[in-house]
Chains A and B, each alone.
Chain A
Amino acid sequence: MKPQITGMLVAPAAALMFGVFVLPFLFLLVLSFWSQVPGSLGLDTSFTLANYVRIFGDSYYLGGLWTTLWLSGLVTLICLVLALPLSRWIVLRAGRAKGLIIGLSILPLVCGALLPTLGLVNLLSPLGFINGALKSMGVIQSSLPLLGNITGVTIGLVQAFLPLMILPLITTMERLSQDYEKAATSLGARPVVVWQRILLPLLLPGIVAGSLLVFCASLTAFVTPQVLGQGKVVTFASLAYQQAALVLDWPFASALAIVMLIFLTLAGVLGALVTRNFGRVA
């Protein structure tokens, strides 16, 4: 493809991102070096590092960012483990029910964050369905704490964002010929080897796409962690929301976002290195 044509194809999206995303982002970057006048909505525009000093000097904020990073990683991993067999089953076995099953599996996205989260609160609460069922079966004596902690938030995020993993995986699996797998199996490869050597490398674009979407969505999710964490799980999005919309300290909120972006870049570089090595091994 000629570079000019490539340029014409990419330019509209890139221009949009630049105008509507990068420009406000640059504004945030500048803002993060300003400060809020206490007791006022006004901004003090003299240069200061105070916001960054406050974040890096306080284990509370660093801890919140760190929790969010590994929580998002965990959610991504669980989504991947659940979505791989489900997507594969949908593509190969679902037959005429395929549309219906795909539809059912993306329903969490359909209802938005709030309604399924409220449903989950009902299922997970100390008096809820799950604890009630486990108690009546005699599995547990007292209620398991499934709300107001990382467990609840993880369950909620996985439930909410599984569709973001399933759809890209199905998309790439549709394109994947079953012949590879049959050939490998007929040559005596065990299923584990088939997955490891044949399927996973071929599915890599879908896995990367789904993982990135789930990871980023968990990173910035606000409603689900807030409701299922009951205010006790400190996440990046809840900190940013508190500072931006309730304290109205925009410079500090901007600094939080920038620090998270720095962490992400580091994680991204690390991830790229790992993926590259994985690609070589495969």
Chain B
Amino acid sequence: MRTRLSDALSLVVVLTILLFILAPILVLIFSAFDGGNIFRFPPRFYSLRWFEAALNHPEYRSSLWISTLLGVISTLIAVTLASLAAFGLVRGRPRYGLALEVLLLAPLTLPLVVWAIALLSIYAELGMNGTLPGLILAHVTITLPFAARIMIATFKEIDPRLEAAAKSLGAPPSAVLRRITLPLALPGLLSSTAIAFLVSFNDVVVTTLIAGAGWITFPVRTFSRLRTEGIDPTTIAIGAMIVVFTIVLIVVGQRLFQLSRRL
């Protein structure tokens, strides 16, 4: 009886927190269906015109594609480098470990606009301004701290004795990595990947200053008209579509993952 009550209570708490997280996003989704020319909530009359506009807008399409591409490349590099470094820091316990940990977290502590101006000045001297490698390096730098921090926590939770046991039973290092370490680190890897990708995908400040003209991302496009013209309802429709796409992706991904485990 008591557990049932506390179950119900914890469910209420959880749903309240979820509602708090989701309320602004629900506003967003509802207002995407408003037929008016401006962002407003609640909608006055419903229409799909902004979804149509979103699908028929070549500039938004190419910007979304650029954001995705940039996010995927930067995330792959950032999560790989961060995982290697985190593994080294946790298992190897190097002498200046704490200093290195701080170094890997440091980019999070500077306001990005100040750092981006300094980086752009250096890029300009090297002839790297406006180039794709320069932009990717900048994105890896702002996403790596998130991944590194999560991977450090992940490896700290994995008992090194599990790896040692496998090794003592004769498993070669590659098998230990594949069969023991990676599966145990998987939740951490997924979390890092998600956060790194989303930070890269949504960055405005750094990308505005560092990106060349061929690399106008979706958020940069959105912000470049915000002050003068306000938010474009098309952007809100695109945001709503991204939200739905993400949920579908996660649910389907989880199902496939469970299926693959059963096979």
Contact = CB atoms under 8 A, between A and B. Distances in A.
Direct A–B contact in complex, judged by CB atoms less than 8 Å apart: yes
A187 interface: no
B88 to A, nearest CB: 3
Interface in A190-215: 205-206, 208-209, 212-213
B146 interface: yes
Interface stretch (A47-55, A134-142, A234-242): A234-242
B195 A208 contact: no
B198 interface: yes
B195 A164 contact: yes
Contacts of A108: 21, 24-25
A257 B110 contact: yes
A205 B157 CA distance: 7
Interface residues of A, number: 95
A212 to B, nearest CB: 6
Contact of B92 (A9, A170, A237): A9
A40 interface: no
Contact of A16 (B87, B144, B149, B239): B144
Interface string A9-37: 11011101111111111011001000000
B17 A24 contact: no
A122 B34 CA distance: 14
Contact of B246 (A103, A112, A219): A103
A86 B17 contact: yes
Contact of A119 (B28, B114, B146, B254): B28
Contacts of B91: 1, 6
A172 interface: yes
A155 B190 CA distance: 27
Interface in B11-44: 11, 13-14, 17-18, 20-28, 31, 39-41
Contacts of A24: 115, 118-119, 121-122
A9 B28 contact: no
Interface stretch (B46-54, B55-63, B77-85, B174-182): B77-85
Nearest to A240: B111
Nearest to B253: A99
Given A110-B243, A170-B187, A205-B152, A244 B28 contact: no
B194 A100 contact: no
A27 B123 CA distance: 12
B25 A1 contact: no
B25 to A, nearest CB: 5
Contacts of A213: 108, 146, 149-150, 195
A86 B14 contact: yes
Given A9-B85, A86-B14, A245 B113 contact: yes
A12 B137 contact: no
Contact of A260 (B26, B100, B109, B226): B109
A209 B153 contact: yes
A129 B31 CA distance: 14
Interface string A149-173: 0000000000100111001101110
B166 interface: no
B24 A116 contact: yes
B114 A28 contact: yes
A239 to B, nearest CB: 9
A220 interface: yes
A82 interface: yes
B236 interface: yes
A98 interface: yes
Nearest to B184: A175
B183 to A, nearest CB: 11
B134 to A, nearest CB: 9
B115 A111 contact: no
Nearest to B108: A216
B205 interface: yes
Contacts of B118: 24-25, 27-28, 31, 254
A7 B94 contact: yes
A238 to B, nearest CB: 9
B141 A244 contact: no
Given A10-B84, A99-B254, A222-B205, A110 B150 contact: no
A5 interface: yes
A14 B88 CA distance: 12
Given A119-B28, A206-B153, A261 B85 contact: no
A108 B121 CA distance: 33
Given A1-B91, A3-B92, A89-B14, A171 B109 contact: no
User: Which 4 A-B pairs have CB atoms at the shortest separation, nearest pair first?
Assistant: A6-B92, A9-B88, A99-B254, A119-B24
